[in-house]
Structure 1
């Protein structure tokens, strides 16, 4: 059985993780964002913000972890699998920070395909910062554009999820899986 691989993405603070947690609470299979874990591991090793201090190393770790998530999804017997961010997110952030990267990043995006991309837009009313999220709201808006461009670059047509309650955003995604 070929499962559907659905990415939920967006700039920082757009409510992605809340929607993912809600989908999961409703019995849907979700693979969670892993960049916070990579950041926390680096902090344990004494590097406060790995992405800022060693952006290529951070991105390589993130690429490897997201490729592994994609590979894991190929062996799951779930009809639909939701991803909190996809492989092209790595490219979008490196482009945003003007970080040069080797061709293996593009190749990973081309080799590991998703079925549908849902893009959550910046939403000032819910935006907050924390120890791992340091971007301003203006930066989040810019990152949103880089994410959209990255997914379009790899042949996707991201579907923008309206700003609304978590439940309505979840329902919007579920109602647009087969379009």
Structure 2
């Protein structure tokens, strides 16, 4: 019986959306989810909001390693959870390597296990969203300026390319056009 389950269980394709803050990733992920796809959402806002409830306004700025540990653990758990889902495509709003990209951006040292984790959990396709001034907005959890968002974008690209990923740039268009672009690229993976 277990053999039959293994034969029937398809290996899901793991697709990650990356980009600096305020690039429209979350709107696109929600729209993809509305199309019926399984999506794992960004967890940094949840971690930040929880810290704010505990009186720490910006955990990433105050304790970057603790914040990054929490993100790394949460994103690894999302990856592990995705392994149990029997669907052809699974989407992630940010991937595990985003953690080290942000740490590099902040020039904050991190343990070697972060790098090993990046190399252990692999994704099938990476879409990156370029920084787009027309839609960029700061808020309570997004403290970065537009210029900082541009820098973060470059660290993300460098990190993922350094891990051997090919990046597909999502055009600066409306949400529905971006969704159509992404879905047309995943067919035949």
**TM tier, smaller:** over 0.9
- Any residues of structure 2 matched to 1:108-123 within 5 Å, and which? 108-123=117-132
Pairing of 1:125-136 with structure 2 (within 5 A): 125-136=134-145
Q: Deviations over 1:41-87 (max 9, x none)?
A: 11111111000000000000000000000000111011100000000
Aligned partner (choices 24, 29, 34) of residue 20 of structure 1: 29
Aligned to 1:80: 89
Corresponding residue number in structure 2 for 1:91: 100
Find the aligned partners of 1:136 and 1:171 in 2 and give their Cα distance: 29
Mapped pair 1:106 → 2:111:
no
5+ residue gaps, structure 2: 1-9
Provide runs of 4+ in structure 1 moved above 4 Å.
none
- Secondary structure, in 3 states, of the residue corresponding to 2:11? coil
Equivalenced residue count is: 179
Unmatched segments (≥5 aa) in structure 1: none
Residue 47 (str. 1) matches residue 56 (str. 2) = yes
1:116 Cα shift? 0.3
Structure with greater Cα Rg = 2
- d(CA) in 1 for partners of 2:48, 2:73: 14
Other-structure match for 2:5: none
Counterpart-to-counterpart distance in 2, 1:4 and 1:156: 14
Partner residue in 1 for 2:184: 175
TM-score relative to the length of structure 2: 0.93
SS state at 2:123 partner: coil
Partner Cα separation in structure 2 for residue 45 and residue 90 of structure 1 = 22
Query: For 1:151, what is the secondary structure of its paired residue?
Result: helix
Note the C-alpha offset of 1:152: 0.7
Shift of 1:126: 0.4
CA RMSD after TM alignment: 0.8
2:72 corresponds in structure 1 to: 63
Name the SS of the counterpart of 2:15 in structure 1: strand
Q: Secondary structure at the match of 2:22?
A: coil
User: Which residue in 2 is equivalent to 1:145?
Assistant: 154
